[in-house]
Structure 1
Amino acid sequence: MTWDPGGARGGKGKLYLIMRFLRMEQTLFSLPMAYLGAFIAIRRVPSIYILVLIFSALFFLRIAGMTNDNLADRFIDSKNPRTRSRPLVTGAISVTEARILIIIGLLGFFISAYLVNIWAFILSPIVALIVMTYPYMKRFTALANYHLASIQGLAIFSGAVAAAGVYYNSLLRVLEAVPWYFVIATIFWAVGFDLYNHIPDMEFDKQMGLHSFAVVLGNSALQFAGINQLLSVTIDFVADFSYGLGFLSYISTIAHGLIMAYAYYLATRSKFGSAFYYNIYSSIVLGLGIDIDIIMGIPKL
């Protein structure tokens, strides 16, 4: 297994190396979900100002979180044949540069949260703490898969807080505006595709004493991933109904599920790289479909 989303070949420019190091394309996992949370929270299109700041916060938190992940795992990655081409392992990006990126990322995230609204700023340390502690969880528990998945769920939560915080003076009202069913559904969805990363490394993780449900469940890990994603789609339908969304949201949820099902099929054929990236498409389909549904004011079913 040679696929690695964070690997980078030599002979490329510094910008390319940094982009591969940060896996910036994976921000596409989070951005549609963050906007989904914002649109549902206020049932209208947030201001351009808020939409830009949501993107900014995600962008900078991605820089901090992914850099911290690479920094924490650099010695482990150097021993794994699949991850030996990562820039921090090869020395293409130095430890000092990585630490500077973390500082830039966290500062950018906290400034973005401050500019959004007071509630986003108050809650931002909690969000950052969850993101920055993830790489250490797999040293202790297989629940690290759910920890990573909760970061994807936080995208919806954060988008909702960013939008609703403009309208409500009460933190309780802001939290009530969060579409929690979609947050929960996203967590189960993310557990599934996170296991596409861990299953190829199952034997290596055992040798290194690392924990994941791939290690715990062995050959049953892929079925566990599928169960999580099936549960995710089921909760998405509950969310469509509970939040009074229109037919386009249901269609998007169906498409979201079908793409996940195809990704699962690819994983059963050991095409884990393709399976992982198909989840980008599934999140875009779900997020855009629901956003358009709300923009058009489509009546609920």
Structure 2
Amino acid sequence: MNPFANFGAVCRMIKIEHSVFALPFAYLGAFIAAGGWPGLLPLLLLTVAMVGVRSFAMAFNRVVDLPFDSRNPRTQQRPLVTGEISPAQTWAFICVMATVFVLACWGLNPLSLALAPVALAVSAVYSLLKRFTWICHFWLGGVLGLSPLAGWIAVDPQFTVPAVLFFWGIVFWVAGFDIIYSCQDTEFDASAGLHSVPVRFGIPAALIISSFCHVVTSVMFLMGGWAAGLSWPYYLVWAAVSGVLYWEHSIISAEDMSRVNMAFFTLNGYISVALFAGVLLGVFL
């Protein structure tokens, strides 16, 4: 069974373009840890590892959620639902991506390799949590929050205060926008017995919780830059990112969710890239 027989459909299944959310944060950790250029080989291996683990997590999510996606009108055009990719191909792809991830971690350093199984397990568990608890948004944030820790460990194999602060910033950043995104599926999730913040508390309260998450995000990103000793350009970017987060919440409401995709994809894609650019400026200037 060739997991790459329909490569285009595989890329659509895992939304390869959304790697923009994770890669900048991994690079952020690597550049801060190195105090500059981390070296070509660590950066290449880090990139392979991040794409591998993200692809693993997305494919696992799609295959275990297939029974729900086939019933949800919003997800009925996904490749696994339409039959462009089979479950067997997806499981084969999951195994390949897990192997790629572990090999990349092996090439980095012993700590990265030792933590590789933990990262895979944490990434996979998210897909099951929505069956049991509305905390799933924060677990997803934790999965992506491992990015700066991974980037730091790839260059300097230890846990540090700046990396942990950026971790928490990303936890709340992702949880905040995932809560917004899940508002689209509130009715379906409730009927299917799935858990989310909008299902548990209602959409108006969910948007308030999302706003609180992004306030925490702004504070953590500020403290992370300070703990890392970044110079003044980083704080200009931090202010701009905080402004974008505020604007994100101003364009949606419980009565009008028509711009959720803009808030979720466009604005948050800009945030991760912009923050990495701010770190580069803060490190080199």
Q: How far apart are the structure 2 equivalents of 1:82 and 1:266?
A: 21
> Are 1:254 and 2:254 an aligned pair?
no
Per-residue CA shift, 1:210-264, capped at 9, x if unaligned?
Answer: 1111111102111111110111001211222222211111011112112222222
SS in 1 for 2:70: helix
Question: Unaligned stretches of 5+ in structure 2?
Answer: none
1:113 — aligned with what?
105
Instruction: Decide which of 164, 169, 176 is 1:192's aligned counterpart.
Output: 176
Deviation at 1:196, TM superposition (A): 2.4
Please state if 1:104 is matched with 2:93.
no
TM-score w.r.t. length of structure 1: 0.88
Over 6 Å off, 4+ runs = none
2:260 pairs with 1:272:
yes
CA distance in 1, matches of 2:227, 2:73: 46
Shift of 1:63: 1.6
Q: Which residue of 2 is the match for residue 6 of structure 1?
A: none
Aligned length: 276
Which residue of structure 1 lines up, in the alignment, with residue 208 of structure 2? Answer: 223
Cα deviation for residue 178 of structure 1 reads 5.7
Separation of aligned partners in 1, 2:246 and 2:166: 19
Superposed displacement of residue 51, structure 1: 0.5
Note if contact 2:234-2:282 (Cα within 8 Å) is conserved in structure 1.
yes
Deviates more, 1:147-156 or 1:284-293: 284-293
CA displacement at 1:90 relative to structure 2: 0.9
State the TM-score, normalized to the length of structure 2.
0.93
Q: For 1:30 and 1:63, how far apart are their aligned partners in 2?
A: 11
Q: Does 1:286 align with 2:275?
A: yes
In the alignment, the residues of structure 2 paired with residue 189 and residue 177 of structure 1 have an alpha-carbon distance, to the nearest angstrom, of 18
Counterpart secondary structure, 2:133: coil
Q: Which amino acid aligns with 1:68?
A: F
1:175 alignment partner, SS class: coil
CA distance in 2, matches of 1:58, 1:204: 31
What amino acid does structure 1 have at the position aligned with 2:177? F
Query: 2:142 matched to 1:157?
Result: no
Counterpart residue identity of residue 180, structure 1: V
Q: CA deviation at 1:267?
A: 2.8
1:16 pairs, out of 8, 12, 17, with 8
By how many angstroms is 1:132 displaced?
1.1
| Counterpart in the other structure of 2:123 | 131
Secondary structure of 2:230's aligned partner: coil
Assess, with a 3 A threshold, how the Cα gap between structure 1 residues 258 and 197 changes in structure 2: closer, same or farther: same
Distance in 2 (CA, whole Å) between partners of 1:28 and 1:75 is 28
The one-letter amino acid paired with 1:80 is N
Deviation at 1:15, TM superposition (A): 3.1
The answer for the alignment partner of 1:180 in structure 2 is 164
Q: Which runs of 5+ in 1 are unaligned?
A: 1-12, 166-173
1:231 & 1:97 partners in 2: Cα distance?
A: 40
**Aligned Cα RMSD in Å?**
1.4
Task: Report SS of the residue matched to 1:140.
Answer: coil
Structure 1 residue aligned with 2:19, among 5, 24, 27?
Answer: 27
**AA of the residue aligned to 1:123:** L
3-state SS, counterpart of residue 239 of structure 1: helix
Seq. identity, %? 28
